Amino acid sequence: MGQYLAETIESVLINLKPRDEYFIIDGASNDGSVEIIKKYEKHITGWVSEKDSCYAEALKKGFALGSNDYQCWINSGDLLLPNTLKVARETLDDDSVDFIFGDDLHIDEQGNVLNVSTGKVNSLKMMMAVGGWTPLQDACFWKAKLYNKIGGLNVNKKYAADYDLFLRMSLAGNCNYTPNLFSAFRRHDGQTSHKYKRQYDFERYQSRSAAIIKLNFSFIILCLLKIYYWFHLRVRARFFSTNKKLKLLRGQKVSDIESQTTLS
C-alpha cells in the first residue's frame, strides 16, 4: 500500500489542530513506506516501523502511544475528508456520546468516487450483534475512556479486530450515528476482509456469539430478531443502492469533496 501512503498522510495532516497527536505504525514494510514516512517526520507526533503479528497489534501499539481524549485510525490507502476531525471533535464534545459513526465514500485506486455508504442505523449493538452489520472503520471516532474501558483491540483477532472492537464498544458505551460524510474507503484487492473472507467471517461469528450471550435473549426472541434483521438488512441495502441522491457524487474526484452533511 506504499503507493497510497502519502495521500493518506496528507489527508490527515490537513485535519490536524494544535495538540492533536498523529502516530504512524508500519509493520516493517519493504514497499517504500518508511522512506515516505521520513519525508513527513517533522509533521507527525511519532512513528514506528517493526514487525507485528497482525494489524490489531500494530494499532494497539499506536493507541498506547497516544494521550488525547478522542481516537480514530485511518488505514494506508483510505482518506479523511477535509474538516472531518473538526466535525468529529465537536460531536464527541457532547458528554452523553462515547462513539460516533457516519457516512463514507467508496473510491477506486485512482480516487474516483464509486458509491456513497451510509452508516445510519437506530441501534449499533443490535445491527452488529444480531444482524452482523458493521460501520466502516474509517468513519468511526470514539473517546479514549471507552477504548480503555473495554480493554482496547483484541490482538487475538487477526482478521476482524475492527469488527470486534466496535461491537464491544457498542455494548459498553453510548454509540450514535451522525449524518456526516467523513472519509473515503479505497477498494483494492488486498483488503483483509475480502482476501481472507472465511477467516474474517469466522472471527466475526465468534465476536457476535459472545455479544449475544451478554445480551441474554431468550431463544424465541433471538430467533425472531434474527429473522427481522435478516430482512431489515436486505431492504436497507436495496433502498440505499437505488437512492438517486446517494449517487450524485459518483464519478467525482475525492479531492473535490469535503466533510459534509450526508446526502441521504
Q: How many domains does the chain have?
A: 1
**Checking DSSP bridges between strand 70-71 and strand 140-143, what pairing results, if any?**
antiparallel
Pairing of strands 46-49, 23-26: parallel
Confidence band for 20, pLDDT divided at 50, 70 and 90:
very high
How far is residue 122's CA from residue 68's CA, in Å, rounded to a whole number?
A: 29
Which of 90, 23, 76, 134 lies closest to 259 in space, CA to CA?
A: 90
pLDDT at 189: 67
Closest by CA to 115, choosing from 248, 255, 258, 260, is 248
What does the pLDDT read at residue 192? 59
Q: Which three cell numbers stand for residue 10?
A: 496528507
- pLDDT band for position 247 (cuts 50, 70, 90): low
Nearest to 59 by CA among 26, 35, 28, 36: 26
Residue type, 240: F
Chain-wide mean pLDDT for the chain? 91
The stretches of 14-102 forming alpha helices (DSSP H) are: 33-39, 55-65, 84-92
Judged by DSSP in three states, 181 sits in strand
What CATH number does the domain containing 206 carry?
3.90.550.10
Residue 115 is predicted with a pLDDT of 86
Q: Whole domain around residue 109: which residue ranges?
A: 2-261
What CA–CA distance (Å, rounded) separates 212 from 128? Answer: 10
The number of beta carbons lying within 10 Å of the beta carbon of residue 149 is 14
Residue type, 143: K
Question: Do the Cβ atoms of 101 and 124 come closer than 8 Å?
Answer: yes
**Cα-based distances in Å from 133 to 16, 95, 121, 200, 236:** 30, 26, 10, 13, 11
Better-predicted residue by pLDDT, 189 or 236: 236
Q: Are strands 260-261 and 113-117 parallel, antiparallel or unpaired?
A: unpaired
Pairing mode, strands 23-26 and 99-107 = unpaired
At residue 1, the pLDDT reads 74
Q: Give the pLDDT confidence score for residue 218 in this predicted structure.
A: 94
Residue type, 173: G
Confidence of residue 196 (pLDDT cuts 50, 70, 90): confident
Per residue in 36-94, pLDDT tens?
Answer: 999 999 999 999 999 999 999 999 999 999 999 999 999 999 999 999 999 999 999 99
pLDDT at residue number 238: 75
Which long-range contacts (C-beta less than 8 Å, at least 24 apart) are formed by 42-49? Answer: 43/13, 44/9, 44/13, 45/21, 47/23, 48/23, 48/24
